[in-house]
Structure formats: C-alpha cells, structure tokens
Structure 1
Amino acid sequence: MKESCVPTNTEMKNLGFGYTLSLIGGKYKMIILYWLSENKVMRFNELKRSIGTISFKTLSVMLKELEEDCLVIRKEFPQVPPKVEYSLSERGSSLIPLLDMMCLWGEENRCQRSE
C-alpha cells in the first residue's frame, strides 16, 4: 500500500507536498516557469509582456524568490544599459513535467459550466 503524501497530524511545511507548494505556489510562479520553459532565455520585459497582468514589482519579487529557491538563473551582463536574462536552472527544469501533468489534467477534466 502506498504511503500517504499528507499523513495525519503532520505540518504541511514538513512534507514533500508542502515544500513543493511553497516553491511554486502563488499566482505567478508557475506561469513564469512555464514561459521560461517555452522560451529558454527571457529578459524581464519579455516576461512582463508575456504574462501581461503582472506588475513590475510583483514580477521582480517572484523572480527573486525563484532565484533564491534555485529554480531560475539570473544572468547579468556588465553593459550600459544593463542587460539581465532569466532561464530555468536544472532544478527548475525538473518541475516542468509536473506542470505539464497539471496542464494535461486540466484539459481532460475541465468542467463545462451550463449557462
């Protein structure tokens, strides 16, 4: 019998499930990871345009958190004007199959609402 991913009386933060959610949870992190997986390397404004509804501040905070969690690599070029590129780390790339499975599940289980 398979062991439960969320055993009773255990704090979520101490579980693999909770840890994964802490890395990709929130409104934009999975979207950022998706765009970086599709485009390999993107600059800040490219990401901003691709997402559309995200503010500059929120995108900046999300990218910093993803970088701190070793999911995104930030490469800065010493030039004027400054140039910064973002890409997925190997660790970040390892999450893409999980995101693909979520996408597939959503396509297969989309509820058709009656209007």
Structure 2
Amino acid sequence: MEKDTIDEKQAVSDAEEMRILEENNIALTKAMRIIGGKWKLLLLNSIRRDCPARFGELRKKMQDITHATLTAQLKELESDGIIERKAYPEVPPRVEYKLTPLGITLVPVIEALCAWGEGYPDK
C-alpha cells in the first residue's frame, strides 16, 4: 500500500516536470517562430553590425537569398516588432532597416550565438 503512495507522488512529480518542460518549450517555440529559419538571425546580425542597413547591402551580404525571400523575411521581422523600416522619398528609392528597442534585446543572444560558433571546433 505504501508503495502505491510513492508511485502517486512520483506521478505528480513527473506531471509537474512535464508541465515545466512544456512551458519552456512554449517560450522557445515562440522565440523560434520569430527569429528561427535560415535567414532571420543572419539578417539581424547584419542589421546589428551595419545599423541602419539598406536593402541592397543586405542582399549583397547574403548572395544566396532571393529578392522575394529577403523581402518576406524583413516584412516578418518588421511585423513582429524586431526591426523597423524607413523609406526615404528619393529617386532611386532608399530603404533602411534598424533594430527596434525589442530587437536590441536580441543583441546579447546574437552575440552569444556568434561566440559559441567561433568556439565550436571545425570538423
């Protein structure tokens, strides 16, 4: 009988652990929805380094990205409040991107990922 009590406590403990794991995954899933994918972190790092960054400069730095994909990724980052876009009424048109205050909070994350990548052994 006492063994059943221990198992019930363990089951509660496992359920609590699962709840915590799910909550952490929800937060990570949210973050990955916003900054995940092949291009977003690279774009954010480029904008962070060359702020403000122009569309053409970003395109030159990431030669493998298509015009449509670059546009879509920038629009998503803008709609999520991570970057802001400023268009100047000039000919030819000039558009610049910079990090918003929310986007600036990602700078330590980006820097940590860069440092981790620099320290990762080449294979």
Same-fold call, TM > 0.5? yes
Identical positions, percent: 35
- The alignment status of 1:95 with 2:109, answered yes or no, reads no
Cα displacement string for residues 23-75 of structure 1 (whole angstroms, at most 9, x for unaligned residues): 11010000000001001111111100011211111100000000001111100
- Counterpart position of 2:21: 7
Opposite residue 30 of structure 1, the aligned amino acid is L
* One-letter amino acid matched to 1:7: L
Matches within 5 A, 1:68-87: 68-87=79-98
- Residue 68 of structure 2 is aligned to residue 54 of structure 1: no
Counterpart CA distance in 2 for 1:6 and 1:28 is: 30
- How far has the Cα of 1:109 moved from its partner? 3.0
Are the structure 2 counterparts of residues 37 and 64 from structure 1 closer, same or farther at C-alpha, using a change threshold of 3 Å?
same
Q: CA RMSD in A?
A: 2.3
Q: Deviations over 1:94-113 (max 9, x none)?
A: 11111111122222233x43
| Structure 2 counterpart of 1:27, from 38, 59, 62 | 38
CA contact (8 A) 1:76 1:83 kept: yes
Higher relative helix content: 2
| Bigger Rg over Cα | 2
1:40 corresponding residue in structure 2: 51
Uncovered stretches (5+) of structure 2, i.e. residues with no partner: 1-16
Return the TM-score normalized by structure 2.
Answer: 0.77
By how many angstroms is 1:80 displaced? 2.4
How many equivalent residue pairs?
A: 107
